[in-house]
Amino acid sequence: MRRAKSKDVSTVIIVNKNQHQTRSIQIRTKHLERLNRYALAIVAVLVCLGSVIYYLQKQNNLKDAENHLLALQLSKLKISIPAKVKSDNSASAQSYIQSIQSKLQLINNYLKKRGLKGFGTASTGDGGKTMAPQLSAAEQYAAYNDYLERIVLVTAFTPLGYPHSIDHLTSNFGYRSDPFDASKAEYHPGIDFGGAIGDKVKCTANGKVIWAGWYGGYGNCVRIEHGNHLETLYGHLSKIGVKVGQKVSVGDVIGAVGSTGHSTGAHLHYEVRKDGKPINPIKFLTLNS
């Protein structure tokens, strides 16, 4: 078969049966001969896109599982401080005891500001017998200290607990009836807390304010980025108490309950987002969710 030259042109005739008319379109012959290649290229692109979407979804699921595991570890945390230490390392051990107690107190403060129960700092357990027997007392304290250092960071920058003193939920995460038209359904990307206009709204983790102003249907809204792929959103506020770029800590008041935007009454709309995608905030309200 003769190979088409780059300038060869083929004519495609289109017949209209209803009007008994025809139209012709001139297309370079090389393009017609390459239709199979074009089709294969499109299929390859679609397969690649599908693979990327599957991979990203899998990564999100792994991150959700990791976050849940950290929360479980935090809920089961029990520190055991041996009653006696050897005289040759008592000074070193004592310094770790003070550091451990300080970190426990910090964790407790973070939890209590969110309305969660803290941990006891008194000696509990079996006097450290469950630790590896080859470790000295000071090494045991060092291991606890390092572990608590990680727990402190997780506790500080993970949005645990309640953003509002009233823990009564008026609407859950997911699909629900549209409050403006009960005959329709809508996707609700967060949870709603009942309250009165002016009630304090507090941030649930350390972070930086990335939005403080009107945000479409959310009305007056504050969004806080927590530096670990997590973000929290507080909507329908009657007033905003922070500015974009401001750093906030657990328990800081960032605004007040309201009914601005797409709202039927005073309440707080609260979201937790991971990599920009809303996830169910219920799992973050308590350590055992």
Instruction: Report the distance separating Cα 161 and Cα 206, nearest Å.
Output: 13
pLDDT-flagged residues of the chain (< 50): 1-2, 78-88, 123-132
pLDDT in tens, 267-277: 999 999 999 99
At residue 9, the pLDDT reads 66
At residue 280, the pLDDT reads 94
At residue 25, the pLDDT reads 66
Instruction: Report the distance separating Cα 24 and Cα 7, nearest Å.
Output: 18
At residue 222, the pLDDT reads 98
pTM > 0.85? no
At residue 78, the pLDDT reads 47
Q: What's the full length of the chain, in residues?
A: 289
At residue 62, the pLDDT reads 67
At residue 285, the pLDDT reads 87
- Name the superfamily (CATH) of residues 169-285: Glucose Permease (Domain IIA) (2.70.70.10)
At residue 38, the pLDDT reads 74
Instruction: Report the distance separating Cα 257 and Cα 236, nearest Å.
Output: 7
Question: Domain extents for the chain?
Answer: 78-157, 169-285
